[in-house]
Chain A
C-alpha cells in the first residue's frame, strides 16, 4: 500500500472522529447553558469548550469572552477555523476522494453526503432552537461514516490505518475533554465537590456520551474519582484513554507484523499503555490531573508522529536523491 494512501486513510479516520467529538463538546456547552451553572458560578464554560476543542488560537477574541453563539459559530462553520465541523467533514471527504480506490462505496457515500449537507450550514443551524438537532445531525453523519467503515471495510491495512487515526484522535479528544474542568474557573465559594462541581462532571460524562454507561458500571452518583477512572482508565469504556491505547497497540501490532520502515510507534504505544495499566486515580490526582493530562497529550502526539515515520508518511527522500539535493 502506498504511504500516501495510508496517510490519507489515517486522516480520514481522524477527521471523522474529530467531527464527532466536536458535536459532543458543543452538546456539553449547550447543556451548561441550560443548567444555569454559568449564572451561579459566573464562569464561562464556552471558553473551556473552545480550549478543549483546540480553538484558543483560531478564535478571534479571548475565549473567556465568548458567547454561546460565537463559540458555536466558530466550532461549526467559521472559515477561520481549520477544525470546524464543516472543515472536518470537508477534509474527511477530500481524503476519501483522494483515496476513493481504497474505501468502499458506502464509506465514500457517507463521507460525501456529510460534506454535501454540512457545507450548507448557516447561522440558522446554531440558533438556540436548532442547535440540539444540528448536534444530532453532525453525530449522525459521523456515526454513519463509522458504521460504513465497520460494516463494509475489509479488515486489512486500509481499515487498520483508519482505526489508528480514529483512536489517536479519540485519545486526544478524551484527554482534552477531561481537561476542560481545569479551565473552568471554580469560584471560591463553590469548592471542589460542591453542587456546581458535580454538575460539571455530570456534563462531562454526557459530553463523552457516557452518563448511562457510568451508572451501569458504578451504580453510584457522579463522583470525581469515579469519573476520572471511567474516562481515563476503564478498559470497557470505548472512549477511555486506556481503551484507545489498547486499540492503537493492537492495530500497530497488526501493521508492523508485515514490516515497516522503522518501529518507533510500537515502542511508544507499548510504553504508554504499560504506564496506564500501572496507573490508578490516586496516582493521577497526586501528580495533578491537568499535569497528567498534559503529559498524555504530548505523548500521544509523539506517538502519532512516530506512526508517520514508521510507515513513510510525508515526503521521504531516497538516499540517492538526498545526495543529489545536497
Chain B
C-alpha cells in the first residue's frame, strides 16, 4: 500500500511541515480543535442529507484536519490527465449526438450508446454553444503508487462536492493560518469566478449583451442545496427554482418583484429527467416547461447539456482510453482501472468465478450504493450478487480491488493511515481548466475502501504545492 505521507526513508518532504505542525500542536490539542472545526461547518450550514434513514436529516460530513498534499510534479500529471480526459469525453458527446464517427469506426459498440438510459434522443443533431457539453466534470481518481493514478469514474452530469473543497480550505485557513503563511499552498478560491467566466463564454446565440447567469436548484430539501446556494452566492448569481422561471418567445425569464428578467445561461443542478416536463418526465414540477425548445432555438444555454450521462456510466468508462486515442491522437495520461463488462460472456464468467476478489458495481449506480466489495463481503452477499448479475449482466461491471494509497488521519492515538480518493473539478468553457485542488474523500473506518459521504466517508483539505515547495527548505 502506498503511504502518501511516509516512505521507507521517512516522512516525504512535502509532509515535513505537517509533521512539525502536529508535533508542535500535539495530537490531543488537535483533537479538541476538531469540534471547533465542526462547529464552523455547522455554523455556515454545510450539511448534507442522507436519504432513507431516520435521525438528524442534516448531517455534517466528518472532517479530517490533516491536509492531503500533492507536489507540483504530481499535480502536473493529474491536471494534464484530467484536461485530456475531459476533452476526449466532450468530443465523444459531440460525436455520438452528431456524426457518430467512433461508432462507425467500430471502436465503441453502438448499443452501448443507443441502449444507454442516459442517452437523450432529443439532443441528436443539436450542437450546444461552442460545442461544449459537460461544462463541469468531476474525475474520480485513486492512487496506487508515486506516479500511478487511476481514474475510477467520470462524472459528467452534475457532480457535487465543490463546496466542500472550498469550505474545508476556508476552515483550515481560519483555524491554522500559520500553515499558509509561507505561501506554498496554491489557492483555489477563484473557482466560482472561473465557473462564471466559463458559463458566460457559452452564452446562447440570441444573447446580445452581457449574459445573465443563474443556478437552478431542486430546492432546499435537496441534499446538495448548501452547495447550490453557496455557489450562487460566491458567483453573484440568482439561485432559482423551476417555479421562478418561465419560457416566452424562446427566452427564459425569472419572476422578480419588479417583473420578468431574462436568464441566458442556466447551471442546472437537477437531473435531465426533470428539466422540462414537456420533453422529459411529465410529472416533474422541478423543471421549466418549454426550456428544451428555447435551448434548441438558441435562447438559452443549459449547463451541463442534457444527455451528458451517456459518457460517464461505468460501461462506457471502459472505452475512454480509446476515445483519447481516437479523438486526440494521444496516449492516456491517467490510467483506467481494468474493468470486466459483465455484458460480455467471457467477462461475466470470469467475474462470477472470482467474485470474492473483485469489486462489482452497477453500471448506472452512484454514491457507493449497490456495490459489492468481494474481499469484504460474506459468502451469502456474494451469492446474492451472482444472482443479480446473472439476471441482468448488462447492469454490472467488475474491477480488481486496487491497493489504494493511504493518507494519515487524526485519531485518538495519533495518526493512522486511511484510504483516500480525489475528485478534481474540471471546468470547460472556451478553455478546459481546473483549480489546483479537489475534493479528497477519506474512508474513516479502518481498512474501509468506501469513501462516499453517504457511506460514512469524510473529507480533507487538498493541497497542491507550488513548484519547488515541499523540498529541502520546508
Contacts and interface: CB of A to CB of B under 8 A. Distances in A.
Interface in B254-292: 254-260, 289
B233 interface: yes
Nearest to B214: A2
Contact of B44 (A4, A105, A259, A261): A105
B251 to A, nearest CB: 11
Contacts of B240: 2
B257 A255 contact: yes
Contact of A112 (B45, B243, B255, B260): B45
Contacts of B225: 97
Contacts of B244: 2-4
A315 B285 CA distance: 12
Interface in B275-329: 289
A274 to B, nearest CB: 25
A157 B248 contact: no
B255 A101 contact: no
Nearest to A316: B255
B230 to A, nearest CB: 8
Contacts of A98: 219-220
A4 B45 contact: no
Nearest to A4: B244
Nearest to A109: B43
B189 interface: no
A212 interface: no
Contact of A1 (B42, B45, B248, B256): B256
B257 A3 contact: yes
Interface residues of A, number: 28
A311 interface: yes
Given A4-B241, A4-B243, A321-B246, A105 B255 contact: no
Contact of B243 (A6, A109, A315): A315
Which secondary structure dominates where chain B touches chain A? mixed
Contact of B220 (A97, A260, A320): A97
Contacts of A6: 257
Contact of B257 (A1, A105, A321): A1
Contacts of A290: none
Interface string A97-133: 1101100010011001000000000000000000000
Contacts, number: 68
Interface residues of B, number: 28
A321 B288 CA distance: 11
A4 B226 CA distance: 18
B253 interface: yes
B123 interface: no
A157 B257 contact: yes
B168 interface: no
A326 interface: no
B229 interface: yes
A100, A258, A260, A315: residue with the most chain B Cβ atoms closer than 10 Å: A100
B260 A318 contact: yes
B255 A259 contact: no
B410 interface: no
A238 interface: no
A2 B256 contact: yes
A317 B247 CA distance: 11
B232 interface: yes
Interface string B120-160: 00000000000000000000000000000000000000000
Nearest to B44: A105
A150 B242 CA distance: 32
A258 B259 CA distance: 11
B238 interface: yes
A105 B243 contact: no
Contact of A318 (B44, B226, B246, B258): B246
B220 A3 contact: no
B258 A258 contact: yes
Contacts of A82: none
B359 interface: no
Interface string A33-73: 00000000000000000000000000000000000000000
A209 interface: no
A289 to B, nearest CB: 37
A95 B240 CA distance: 14
A94 interface: yes
A312 B232 contact: no
Contacts of B229: 100-101
B45 A100 contact: yes
B86 interface: no
B239 interface: yes
B45 A260 contact: no
B220, B225, B240, B257: residue with the most chain A Cβ atoms closer than 10 Å: B257
Contacts of A157: 257
B248 A94 contact: no
B256 A105 contact: no
Interface in B201-253: 219-220, 225-226, 229, 232-233, 238-241, 243-244, 246, 248, 253
A259 B259 CA distance: 8
19 contacts: A2-B238, A3-B244, A3-B255, A3-B256, A3-B257, A97-B220, A100-B226, A100-B229, A100-B233, A101-B239, A108-B44, A260-B258, A261-B257, A261-B258, A312-B255, A316-B255, A317-B246, A318-B248, A320-B248
Interface of B: 42-45, 219-220, 225-226, 229, 232-233, 238-241, 243-244, 246, 248, 253-260, 289
The 5 closest A-B pairs by CB, nearest first: A98-B220, A311-B257, A101-B233, A100-B229, A259-B258
Given A100-B226, A318-B253, 8 more contacts: A2-B238, A3-B244, A4-B244, A100-B220, A101-B239, A255-B257, A316-B255, A318-B248
